[in-house]
Amino acid sequence: MSPRQSSRKSEGSDKVGTICRALRRAIIEQALEPGAKLPEDALGERFGVSRTIARHALGQLAAEGLVELRRNRIAVVATPSWQEARDAFDIRIELERLVVRQLAGRLSKNQIATLKTHVDAEDAARNGPDAVSIRLATEFHILLAQMTNSPILVRYVSEVAYRCCLTLSMFSRPHSSECAINEHRQLIAALAAGDEAKVMALMHTHLDSVASRALVTPAPPRGRDLLDILAPYADEEDNEPAAKPAKSARVRTAAE
Amino acid sequence: MSPRQSSRKSEGSDKVGTICRALRRAIIEQALEPGAKLPEDALGERFGVSRTIARHALGQLAAEGLVELRRNRIAVVATPSWQEARDAFDIRIELERLVVRQLAGRLSKNQIATLKTHVDAEDAARNGPDAVSIRLATEFHILLAQMTNSPILVRYVSEVAYRCCLTLSMFSRPHSSECAINEHRQLIAALAAGDEAKVMALMHTHLDSVASRALVTPAPPRGRDLLDILAPYADEEDNEPAAKPAKSARVRTAAE
DNA sequence: TCCGAAAAAAGTGCATGCATTTGAGGCGCA
DNA sequence: TGCGCCTCAAATGCATGCACTTTTTTCGGA
């Protein structure tokens, strides 16, 4: 049912990509909050595709860290812990410093104009809904990354920026982004001037202030995961060298 | 055949993950070279699963940048350009500096012992096949990342390290890794001493030297792909090409 | 012999079906 | 009222089938 097929012959499709983009956007605009359920059926029906495709899209988003996938359970929007959010911001700072370092003094007039136009759009949306402001602010950073012409950098900056957006949903209170807009303008000016050191410092303080505004709670609001709380205690080594598992000292992660 | 199931009772399955791990390993050990074809059927048969699963696994690896996926075409192992390789190393340097910054002076005795054991293993494999040396060297860096206990950092470092391995396959000649092993030992010592600045500098120069040994050819070596050779000529676009090509004559302009 | 077009083969894109698992309600029992 | 067991709807895990696209092979004609 719902044949949704435009029955175009060469239909560029990329249905998976479409779903991913839609969900990403919904997530960063906080239409989908952390913990929101994402059943495959519902997604498939909503986008007019089968569960197979919806599932694939969820897999991709999980690889980006925006979605949590647990076996035999409904996928949910990721709920990063406070520490994970902090880590994401730390990584983001380094990556974006790299971006502006590559960009300083190398932007064309066109590119600078593009950036200015974008910030103007941010300004115009200042009194609109928070969701739009947040999205535009994030897109400014992604725009910068794209100008490096480095696909890898674009991907990582985008991913980590989206993840940081997620943390805004979780820990931040009603956003006030005027200062951020101003900082964006300063960044553009420094980029145009080609002052590498200054632009890197600006980016650093900019993201740092965003982070500290976002992560208002100094203490981890943990309790999310018992294992996490117990981690420091489990670590205490009473000499049991490599007798057993190679990397016994690690408690969690299990990323391997 | 080759059911491969360890038939442990609750068998967490995770067939997709199994395939991903196997392929990643095959890629970094250069058993699968860049450009190698990865047909869904073949993978499915090899791992005893259906195409659906193999396809999903390929999707994940594509998200990590290890595999290239083109519509209606057989998936292939990614063939990063020289510039992409350079970008990957730049990112890697920043990420790993972050790793050792977090780790300096904070490692338990057990962890340091684990690291030393690993480097010993690298040493033992020094005269073995290159593939193993490369894998062990990469795993040393991933091991470090895991000790930060930051899942995000682990993911990014792993990904980018794998991508850098890929570039070894493409641009490097027979590896000689003795010095790298020595540098690993120095890193461990500095980490144990807790000298943050020194350990960051060490990591920087270590990766820099790996990169320059890997990326021996200043210009894209030889087109394994005709399209690649012709790219500069096909580009044209005389209208104001961005003042100055950012740090390279990049031809693709793919971003955006 | 060489070239180009048509047919066959191989491969991907996607939906659907069935088995399995989870989780929520219902029911009995104290 | 509260607690535990059972049952069933809902959702996932995965294989398979069919349509479509790309690649390879075949084959007739110059």
| B108 closest CA partner among A240, A222, A86 | A240
Would you call A14 and B71 a contact, using CB atoms and an 8 Å cutoff? Answer: yes
Q: What confidence score (pLDDT) does residue A86 get? A: 93
Instruction: Say what the pLDDT of residue A218 is.
Output: 52
Report whether pLDDT(B44) > 50.
yes
- pLDDT, tens only, B122-181: 999 988 888 888 899 999 999 999 999 999 999 999 999 999 999 887 877 666 666 689
3-state class of A40 per DSSP? helix
Nucleotide D10 C1' to residue A25 CA (A) = 27
Q: Which two tokens stand for residue B161?
A: 């390290």
Is A238 in the B-facing interface, judged by CB distances under 8 Å? no
Interface touch A149/B254, C-beta < 8 Å = yes
| Nearest one of A90, A83, A130 to A225, comparing CA atoms | A83
Q: Taking the CB of residue A76, how many other CB atoms lie within 10 A of it? A: 18
User: What is the model's pLDDT at position A174?
Assistant: 62
Helix (H) or strand (E) holding A255: none
State how far residue B246 is from chain A, nearest Cα, in angstroms.
6
CA distance A104 to B223: 31
Instruction: Determine the Cα–Cα distance for residues B96 and B145; give it in Å rounded to an integer.
Output: 8
Question: Is the CB atom of residue A68 positioned under 7 angstroms from any atom of strand D?
Answer: no
The stretch B202-222 carries a mean pLDDT of 78
B103 and A CB contact within 8 Å: no
Asked if residue B18 keeps its beta carbon closer than 7 A to nucleic acid strand D, the reply is no
Interface touch B246/A163, C-beta < 8 Å: no
- C-alpha of B134 from chain center: 10
Supply φ then ψ for residue A153, to 5 degrees: -60, -40
Inter-residue contact B98 to B184 (CB < 8 Å): no
Tokens at B253, concatenated: 């302009």
Closest CA to A121 of A139, A99, A142, A95: A139
The verdict on B13 touching A (C-beta cutoff 8 Å) is yes
Residue B29 β-bridge partners: none
CA of A116 to C1' of D16 (A): 54
When computed from its CA atoms, the radius of gyration of chain B, rounded to whole angstroms, is 20
The CA distance from B198 to the nearest CA of chain A, in Å, is 18
Q: What residues have CB less than 8 Å from A112, skipping those under 6 apart?
A: A188, A191, A192
Residue A109 CB in 7 A reach of strand D? no
- Closest listed residue to residue B178, CA positions, set B138, B123, B131, B132: B123
Q: How far is CA B205 from CA A22, B3, B92, B183, B211, in A?
A: 42, 46, 12, 9, 10
Three-state DSSP class for residue B70: coil
Nearest by CB: B240 against A91, A108, A247: A108
Contact B110, A237 (CB under 8 A): yes
Amino acid at residue number B69:
L
B40-99 residues touching A, CB cutoff 8 A: 52, 55-56, 59-60, 63-65, 71, 83-84, 87-88, 90-91, 94-95, 97-98
pLDDT at A224: 38
Which nucleotide has its C1' atom closest to residue B50's CA? Answer: D15
CATH 1.10.10.10 domain extents, chain A:
15-77
Residue A36 CB closer than 7 angstroms to strand D?
A: no
State the fold for domain A15-77: Arc Repressor Mutant, subunit A (1.10.10)
Interface test with A, best of B110, B115, B160, B244 (most A CBs within 10 A): B110
Residue B216, classed as helix, strand or coil, is coil
Q: Tokens for A229?
A: 């709380």
What superfamily would CATH give domain A82-214?
Answer: GntR ligand-binding domain-like (1.20.120.530)
The partner residue sitting opposite B94, judged by closest CB among A98, A110, A248, is A98
Q: Where in chain A is the domain with CATH 1.20.120.530?
A: 82-214
Q: Kindly state the average pLDDT of the residues B24-40.
A: 92
What whole-number distance in Å separates Cα of residue B2 and Cα of residue B21? 17
Name which of A56, A64, A146 is nearest B59 (Cβ-Cβ). A56
Nearest CA in chain A to B92: A95
Q: How far apart are CA A251 and CA A118, in angstroms?
A: 44
Q: How far apart (Å, rounded) are the C-alpha atoms in residues B175 and A221?
A: 48
- CA B46, B51, B57, B58 dihedral sign is positive
Query: Taking Cα atoms as reference points, which of B35, B25, B26, B22 lies closest to residue B170?
Result: B35
> In the prediction, which pLDDT does A11 show?
43
First and final C-alpha spacing in chain A? 42
pLDDT in tens, chain A (256 residues): 333 333 333 345 789 999 999 999 999 888 898 999 999 999 999 999 999 999 999 999 999 999 999 999 999 999 999 899 999 999 999 999 999 999 999 999 999 999 999 999 999 998 888 888 889 999 999 999 999 999 999 999 999 999 999 988 777 766 666 668 999 999 999 999 999 999 999 999 999 999 988 877 654 443 334 334 334 333 333 333 333 333 333 333 333 3
> Alpha helix (H) ranges present in chain A?
15-28, 40-47, 51-64, 82-103, 109-124, 130-147, 151-171, 178-193, 196-214, 226-235
Token pair of A86, please?
A: 């902090």
Contact B177, B137 (CB under 8 A): yes
Indicate the pLDDT class of residue B218, thresholds 50, 70 and 90: low
D strand bases under 7 Å from protein CB: 10-17, 21-23
Closest to A66 measured CA to CA, from A14, A94, A26: A26
Residue B245: is its pLDDT beyond 80?
A: no
Q: Which residue in the block uniquely carries the two structure tokens 């060490």?
A: B202
Residue B217 banded pLDDT, cuts 50, 70, 90: low
Q: Which residues numbered 136-155 in A keep a CB inside 8 Å of some CB on B? A: 146-155
* CA dihedral for B52, B58, B62, B64, sign (positive or negative): positive
Q: Map tokens 């676009």 to a residue.
A: B237
Per-residue pLDDT tens for B56-100?
A: 999 999 999 999 999 999 999 999 998 999 999 999 999 999 999
Rounded to whole angstroms, how far apart are CA atoms A187 and A154? 18
Which residue lies nearest C20, CA-to-C1' measured?
A72
Nucleotide with C1' nearest the B38 CA: C11
Higher pLDDT, B153 or B30: B153
